[in-house]
Amino acid sequence: MADDKVSHSKTGRGPTRLKNMFKKITKDDKIPLSIDIHTGVPTGQHAKKYRSYLGVLSRERISILTQSWDHVTDHEKNMIWQDILTHYNIPNVETLKAKVLSDVGVKFRQFKSKLTTDYIYGKRKEENPCAKYASIDEETWQQFVNIRQTEKWQEVRNKAKANQAYNDTPHLLSRGGYKLLEQKMLEEKIKARSTSIEEMNSVDSLRPPSPPLRHEMWKGAHINTLGTWSSKSTEQTVERIDSLNEQSTQGTFKPCGRNDILNVALGRPEHPGRVRVAGYGVGIRSYFGPPSHSK
């Protein structure tokens, strides 16, 4: 009978929820997490789940009607931080707290952007996200839609779209970001080394491979599995990178601090507060050091 048929259609990945993430975790059984207290960047086997957890907190602890992360109260931010400390064994220090809460703020902005792009103006505009996200009720959603359809918001949206148009070298990274890419590139180096192990002495074979350089990481983030660059501008930038790299080996170009191969090839300075390829939480001064002042 038709009513007895089972649908085998493939569904997309559903949202992770707080009650599903830690149903086996008690308050005395925290998850150990390796995390840099200065950058807030997690590493190790629990890093991926931790990043998902921050996304869950941003969705379920803050109303989408909150104008921006700057409008989230200190009390709400402290509650989020305490929630993280309850589940993860990480240092309770101000430097890390600031970085982690900043990451939650980024995920909060990304979630609201996703709702706007997909459910108000995009491919899912005939769907209602209330069925997918338990933290959003019908009244809240209708208010959110009304706000995002005002003339004032349209001006903000059009300005953001215009700014995005300037990004002519889009990356092709997965959710793991540059950290995952770096890990894969190191694994490729180890694999390549193992094929020529007979040509190496025993001391070299025991040394870990050197981490990929910043311009190498940038190239790896802008190429797909078929070996095609993400855009024509990307291809032109790669040509400049390869040329500068060759000049560097010949001694005719000397990378120095912020004027390294990547920045010179791009022809644009770093964005304030963050560094290309370094990932979230890494500032310009902490990565390059203080600027040099020539007399």
Residue 130 DSSP code: G
User: Phi and psi (nearest 5°) for 42?
Assistant: -85, 155
Tokens 């390869």 locate to: 242
Retrieve residue 28's tokens. Answer: 């005395």
- Of the candidate ranges 27-31, 216-220, 249-253, the one whose mean pLDDT is the lowest: 27-31
pLDDT at 197: 54
Determine the Cα–Cα distance for residues 247 and 238; give it in Å rounded to an integer. 14
- Mean pLDDT for 240-258 is 93
Q: How confident is the model at residue 1 (pLDDT cuts 50, 70, 90)?
A: very low
Domain-wise residue ranges, the chain: 14-165, 177-288
- Select from 284, 265, 263, 264 the least CA-distant residue to 273: 284
Retrieve residue 54's tokens. Answer: 């921050």
Given a cut of 60, is residue 264 above it in pLDDT? yes
**pLDDT tens, position by position, 138-157:** 999 999 999 999 999 989 88
Neighbouring residues of 233: CB distance < 8 A, sequence distance ≥ 6 = 168, 169
pLDDT at 249: 93
Report pTM: 0.71
